[in-house]
Amino acid sequence: MSQILVVDDEIGIRELLSEILADEGHTVRVAEDAAHARAMRNAERPDLVLLDIWMPDTDGITLLKEWAAGGQLTMPVVMMSGHGTIETAVEATRIGAIDFLEKPIALQKLLATVKRALRNGGGQAQAGLTLLSLGRSAVLADLRKRLTQIAALPVPVLLRGEAGVMPQLFARYLHQANTPWVVADAALIDAPQDLLEQAASGLIFVEELAALSRAQQKNLAFVLGKQEKSRTRVVSFTIEDPARLVAELGFDAGLLARLSELSLVLPALREHAEDIPDIAGILLAQTVEAKQCPPRHFSTAALNALRQFHWPRNLEDLQGAVKNLALTALEEEIGAADVERVAAQFHPATAAQVPLPIELPLREAREAFERAYFEQLLARENGSIARVAEKSGLERTHLYRKLKALGITAGRKDE
């Protein structure tokens, strides 16, 4: 069965839950406060945590935030409280808790919640980056406050920003836990009604408005017209300026106005560069914890080098660089020289400096050239699909297919 960690400052609650869950065949560990919970989480790697909110040293919400910000929310967490409020439950689920139990906890409610959390927890556990783990800068703190403020408003939200800013992280902050999360692309081609049914009471995310064909725009307009009835929220993203999106790229002006009822600009990584060491450390820790590489850590000089480097494609580049460093560094400590070696691959001019091996067959050589060509063009045009399409002479839909075939992510993160 599963290993469950029960965190509660009341010994009676710990003993009762331990007895019930042990009778169900689970292995149960207990912690009386946040300090013991931290140690047990790191040592035992539980499959599920039952976490009390009100504790004497550090409250459960603070501990949950700490795990989320540190990339350690890799297991489902169910919050418990005898003084719970709707606001507290909403905050906990937004941070990453999978469910909420109110004390006194009924036996059947406990068993059903534990069973559901263990069954569905893998999809809820946040093993990757989250908005909480992106750093503590004033820029992100302000943006988190704004997102929290609009989270309950049932209106469409348009996110704007540069290529590689990972807009899905910000959109997920608006997503209510235990409700559908649906990326709209394929379903917008010919099945908008199916999309509405799939996303009912949840969130529909449109990864890049500039990539939508006229037919997809029409279907998206249909979805917007039905969203109130289906209690579905639409969050979209584009790297294009709205005026250019309409005037030069032919996007439907009325549809854009409806999608941008609320609009937020996402910061480029250089705007909160002070967060880069923390983000890099979290990404590395997650890679180690997933056992994708041996234990690794950054030297201070390496973190400074990461912070000072200009990442053309923002978070996506930094994430790729950290994984590369984790897998290719020869020592446990990753140094500044390692960072310089890997970061050079992300410089905009790098693609033009890579020679094409003439020993390749023609087809492979052509693919290598096309990959280098489009990577350089994307970097030069700051990830703008519209401008790359214009420069390369390709229609945007054809361009997206070409980039996907070459394994290049452009203007959005493929899932």
Q: Hunting for tokens 């590689």 — which residue is that?
A: 164
Domain 3-124 bears CATH identifier 3.40.50.2300:
yes
Choose among 214, 270, 204: nearest CA to 237. 204
pLDDT digits (tens, 9 = 90+) for 74-130: 889 999 998 767 778 878 887 888 889 999 999 999 999 999 989 876 444 445 688
Please list the alpha-helical segments (H only) found in 205-299.
214-230, 242-247, 253-259, 276-289
Inter-residue contact 48 to 2 (CB < 8 Å): yes
Query: If you count them, how many residues does the chain have?
Result: 415
φ, ψ for residue 278, nearest 5 deg = -65, -45
Question: What is the C-alpha to C-alpha distance for residues 375 and 387, in angstroms, rounded to an integer?
Answer: 13
Domain topology for 270-346: Helicase, Ruva Protein; domain 3 (1.10.8)
Residues of the chain short of pLDDT 70, as ranges, are 84, 121-128, 347-359, 382, 409-415
Which token pair is 133? 């783990």
27 forms beta bridges with: 3
Inter-residue contact 39 to 58 (CB < 8 Å): no
pLDDT digits (tens, 9 = 90+) for 340-374: 999 988 865 444 445 555 667 877 788 888 888 88
Question: What is the C-alpha to C-alpha distance for residues 316 and 305, in angstroms, rounded to an integer?
Answer: 17
Nearest-5° angle of CA 228, CA 233, CA 238? 130
Crossing angle of helices 86-95/60-69, nearest 10°?
A: 20
50 forms beta bridges with: 6, 78
One CATH from 3.30.70.2740, 2.40.37.10, 1.10.10.60, 1.10.260.40 for 350-405: 1.10.10.60
How does DSSP assign 129-156, residue by residue? --GGGG---HHHHHHHHHHHHHTT--S-
CA distances from 281 to 16, 49, 152, 285, 335 (A): 38, 24, 32, 6, 13
Q: Which CATH superfamily is domain 133-267 in?
A: P-loop containing nucleotide triphosphate hydrolases (3.40.50.300)
203 forms beta bridges with: 181, 233
CA distances from 248 to 84, 184, 217, 324, 387 (A): 52, 24, 16, 38, 10
Q: Which residues contact 90 (CB under 8 A, 6 or more apart)?
A: 152, 176
Choose among 112, 90, 89: nearest CA to 102. 89
Q: Residue 412: its pLDDT value, please? A: 43
Q: Hunting for tokens 């009924």 — which residue is that?
A: 106
Same fold, 3-124 and 270-346: no
- CA–chain centroid gap for 364, Å, is 33
Listed by start position, the domains of the chain span: 3-124, 133-267, 270-346, 350-405
Q: Is 182 exposed, middle or buried (0-12, 13-18, 19+ CB in 10 A)?
A: middle
Q: Residue 377: its pLDDT value, please? A: 81
Q: Which amino acid is at 291?
A: K
Question: What is the C-alpha to C-alpha distance for residues 247 and 213, in angstroms, rounded to an integer?
Answer: 15
